[in-house]
Structure 1
Amino acid sequence: MPSRTKTLHFLSSALVTCISVGILGFAMSTAWATKSMKCARDGSGFFNGSAAVTLGLFDGRLEQELCPLFGPPVDFEVFPKLTETKGVPLVLHAVTLCLLALCLLCSAVSILISLYNSVSNPYETYMGPIGIYASSAISACLSVLALVVFVVNFSVTTVAEDLVRTFSENVPVDLKIVSYKMLLGYYLLIPYAALSLLAIGLIYMYDHAAYTQRREQQRPTEDAPKEIMMY
């Protein structure tokens, strides 16, 4: 059976990773960004309409006024609408989702390894601290990469403008970006990455202490009197 210290550290790591998974799950279910635009009929030059697109990973919301017509807010599923537009925005959005799915998978692996180590004493293989270092580090790196891919997709490409045009009822419109901002779902990836690194830190603290103790046990004669060492 593992020592109480080892059990405490590995259970703490599993708990921290579980919290990070809960944060990521909530982040994936809420809105990530919103973009406001001025709208005009194609070629008119009069930007007297407006539209706002709020985008999550799976669901979105469009609010429009004279763009090109009045209408109530419309909720839509992101992937079917992006499939209509095709191109780079669809690919980048799919990449973001794949990265987050891999984050969840790596976090699940980290939890399982932590729980396994809390009740047993495996060898120093991928089922020990090394496995937690690798899986948690990959989770943190992929979450940061997902942040970058999503913000590039939303701010650089025309994903929001393309979505507005799919609702314009075949009336060509000109769109001018007014502002955009990232929302709660996007920023929740930051604490997710931080907690993944914290899980690594908890295991490193135990691993370093255990390594130091092993080194001390392997040098029993260094502090012995010289007379004893001569015999």
Structure 2
Amino acid sequence: MPSTKKTIYFMSSALVTAIAIGILGFAMSTEWAKMTMKCGKDSDNLNGTAVITLKLFQGDLVRVSCPVFGNPQPEIFQVFPKVMEAGSSPAALHILTVCLMALCLLFSAATILTSLYNSVSNPYENYMGPVGIYAYSSLSTCLSVLVLILFAVNISVTSMAEELTKNIAHNDDLHLKDKSTEMQTGFYLVIPYTVLSLLAIALIYMYDHAAYTHRKEQQKPTEDAPKETMMY
């Protein structure tokens, strides 16, 4: 049976990772970005605005005088079908972002299972021990950082917002420019997920380092003993 100290460290790692999964799950259900553009029938007459509020799976578009006057009503749309129509680059980046987040959840779940297994047993130093937690949590951390980069690039660098607006409005002649982007709660919640994944690694490293130091201290009397004594 593992020691109480080991159980505490590994249970803490599992708890921290479970909180991280909860945060990431909530992030996937809430708003990620808001994109505002000037809109009009031609480039010299941009009196309207188009505002897209984007979640990972659903979004809405609000058009004011874009291209005509009227009472603006939010137009709800499903992101995947519309982003596929927006072009290959926005679609590929968005699909990759969602897939990477799913992998983050998978590796975090593996971290929890491995931590719980170590809290009740003494497995070998392989993928079922601390090494496994280092690997799973490191992958979760790296992939979550990549998610932030890919999503930011997709909505800032590509023409995703403009193409979505034209597709939803069924008007390819719309003139859109001066796009401004504001990141929302879902995007920023990936950051605490990354920090908590790193904390899970730090907890296991602290235990692993303390256990290694303890083993070395136990070996010192034998290593320092005179050769005459060791012969007996």
TM range (shorter): over 0.9
Q: Which residue of 1 aligns with 2:26?
A: 26
Alignment CA distance shift 1:111-1:44 (3 Å): closer
Percent of residue pairs identical: 61
**Distance in 2 between residues matched to 1:13 and 1:27, nearest whole Å:** 21
Q: Which residue of 2 aligns with 1:118?
A: 119
Q: Which residue of 1 aligns with 2:37?
A: 37
User: In the alignment, is the contact (CA less than 8 A) between 1:60 and 1:75 conserved in 2?
Assistant: yes
Alignment CA distance shift 1:171-1:134 (3 Å): closer
**Distance in 1 between residues matched to 2:180 and 2:171, nearest whole Å:** 25
**Distance in 2 between residues matched to 1:149 and 1:113, nearest whole Å:** 29
- Listed as ranges, the gaps of 5+ residues in structure 2 are none
- Listed as ranges, the gaps of 5+ residues in structure 1 are none
The question of 1:58 aligning with 2:46 is answered no
Runs of 4+ with deviation above 6 angstroms: none
Deviations, residues 19-76 of structure 1 (Å, cap 9, x unaligned): 00000000010111111111011x3620111110111111111111111233311121
User: In the alignment, is the contact (CA less than 8 A) between 1:35 and 1:177 conserved in 2?
Assistant: no
**Distance in 1 between residues matched to 2:95 and 2:177, nearest whole Å:** 26
**Distance in 2 between residues matched to 1:62 and 1:55, nearest whole Å:** 9
**Distance in 2 between residues matched to 1:44 and 1:27, nearest whole Å:** 37
Q: Which residue of 1 aligns with 2:93?
A: 92
Q: Which residue of 1 aligns with 2:76?
A: 75
Offset at residue 229 of structure 1 (A): 6.0
Alignment CA distance shift 1:87-1:226 (3 Å): closer
Aligned alpha-carbon RMSD (Å): 1.7
- In terms of fraction of residues, the more helix-rich structure is 2
Q: Which residue of 1 aligns with 2:9?
A: 9
| Counterpart secondary structure, 2:158 | coil
| Counterpart secondary structure, 2:66 | coil
Q: Which residue of 2 aligns with 1:202?
A: 203
Q: Which residue of 2 aligns with 1:134?
A: 135
**Distance in 2 between residues matched to 1:122 and 1:226, nearest whole Å:** 35
The question of 1:48 aligning with 2:47 is answered yes
Aligned length: 230
- Could you state the TM-score of these two structures normalised by the residue count of structure 2? 0.94
